[in-house]
Structure 1
Amino acid sequence: MENAFLKLPFHFSEEKLLDDLAICKKYNFTSHFNKNDYSGNWTSIALRSQNGEMNNIFALPQNGEKYKDTELLQKCAYFKEVIDFFECEKESIRLLNLKPGSIIKEHTDYNLGYEDGIFRIHIPIITNEEVHFFIDSKEVKMLPTECWYGNFNLPHSVRNDGKADRIHLVMDCIRNDWSDNLFAECGYNFEAEKAAPEYSRETKLQMIEQLKLMGTETSKAMIAKLQSEI
């Protein structure tokens, strides 16, 4: 599908990314809450969350709270510089670590495409040649210091067949005029966006099961909406 992913024209300092990662590794990463979506070891730590806690790795809004920088982000000057480089509002910001031999099974997320007014950015910090990241059945090779957008409404999966961790800085950003101009420069097809396909019944059922695991008021409202469409 067109607009499934987009490489953005930014490169960041590998040395500085690794320096801030070393700070974060002094703290405990939390296992991803959706146990059905992966096998192995998939962990995260929050740089920005709704309650400002490092172990709150939920990416969906909860109970209408505003997102806050965590104490950890205050210790990571370069991560903060990278985040501030994006001239838009941000919601959840996390480090996601997929350990060697681990698999994120193919799944779809909810309202995580640019057409939904939100966009997820991946900045690889550590990876290896045996990491296989698929979006809409197409493999996307994301290298350290690069910057990528992916439409995670589409089926996606990751497999780390290598011997090193795969750690990405992952930001959920709010679409605005700045991001529209950026995406246009990078070849995003805004006409194709208008014809975004409807979710299949099977996909909606998968989304409902994932949202049930969160147990938040927001996820319950999303479940109700999806159930009404089936």
Structure 2
Amino acid sequence: MALAAFSRLPVTVNLPLLLQALAAVEEDRWQGHFNTAYHSGDWSGVALISAADALTELSPGRGQPQHRAPWSEDGRWQDALGDWPLDIVSARLLRLGPGGRIHEHRDYDLGGPDADVRLHVPLLSSPGVEFWLDGQIIPMRVGECWFLDLARPHRVANHGDQARVHLVLDCRPEPWLAQQIADGLRSTPEAVVGQSDLARFQQRVEADHHLAQALQGLHDLDVFIETALELGAAQGLHFTREELRAAMRHGRRQWSEQWKA
């Protein structure tokens, strides 16, 4: 069964119990993420289950899954997920601090028919968090469970003033899980998906002749990007070089052709 690019699973999450377990995690257990080139700001995590042969508890490995201290010493994690017949090979808490960004990348180890399936359960979040997958914002809310095909390009920005924390589970592709993904939905109920500052800036340029004129004729890509950043900041809209480059890569012709004509 081919999996969708993303899906909100029709399962019940025991959010209060998960938040209790999260609150009991000591601050000194949080470790910086090993992919230091992929982010800016605080991107850290706590390993709950990870491979026995991993270089660090947060790093990937090929060994048998080992229950780390927060999982083995606090039964609330297992109790909260007890009704889900999952074969979990990795479980982590991942935190993105206020102002933090995870730059666009792919998790190539998740590609292929026998690859592990990654689930995200938001525990703490806010409307200021933008999770982009293959050029689309995924409207995840706390207490939901989402499958995300992260072998596709994705990035995250936390524009809020509080940390975003997700419980991230890597599971073997069992039939029950594949069926839940197939039965899932592509949105949050009654979700109002906020626009990014980049999308707002794009709309303003399309509607404002003077802004468009300031970008037209800038054939040097670096000059074009720097000018767009400056014009956006003057409008109170903040986005990064990585976001703008990603927009161009995703074929938004109005960025790469119309405004530079």
Q: TM-score range by the shorter chain?
A: 0.7 to 0.9
Residue 199 of structure 1 aligns with which residue? none
| SS in structure 2 of the partner of residue 21 of structure 1 | helix
Change (3 A) 1:172 1:139: same
Indicate the structure whose relative CO is greater, using CA pairs within 8 Å and at least 6 residues apart. Answer: 1
Residue number in structure 1 paired with 2:98: 100
Higher strand share goes to which structure?
1
Q: Deviations over 1:149-200 (max 9, x none)?
A: 0000000000000001000000000011212222232379xxxxxxxxxxxx
Aligned to 1:89: 87
Contact 2:10 2:183 in 1 (8 A): no
- d(CA) in 2 for partners of 1:142, 1:66: 31
Deviation at 1:27?
3.8
Identity rate, percent: 30
Name the residue aligned to 1:175. 173
> Which residue does 1:123 correspond to in 2?
121
Distance 1:33 1:146, change over 3 A: same
Which one-letter code corresponds to 2:178 in the other structure? D
SS at match of 1:19: helix
Q: 1:148/1:114 Cα in 2 relative to 1: closer, same or farther (>3 Å)?
A: farther
Unpaired runs of at least 5, structure 1: 189-230
Determine the structure 1 residue equivalent to 2:155: 157
C-alpha deviation, 1:4, in angstroms: 1.4
Moved beyond 6 Å, runs of 4+: none
Larger radius of gyration: 2
What is the TM-score normalised by the length of structure 2? Answer: 0.65
| Inter-partner Cα distance in structure 1 for 2:39 and 2:50 | 22
Q: What code does the residue aligned with 2:23 have?
A: A
Across the aligned residues of Structure 1 and Structure 2, the Cα RMSD in angstroms comes to 2.2
2:122 counterpart letter in structure 1: P
**Residues 22-51 of structure 1: per-residue CA shift (max 9 Å, x gap):** 111344200001111000110001000123
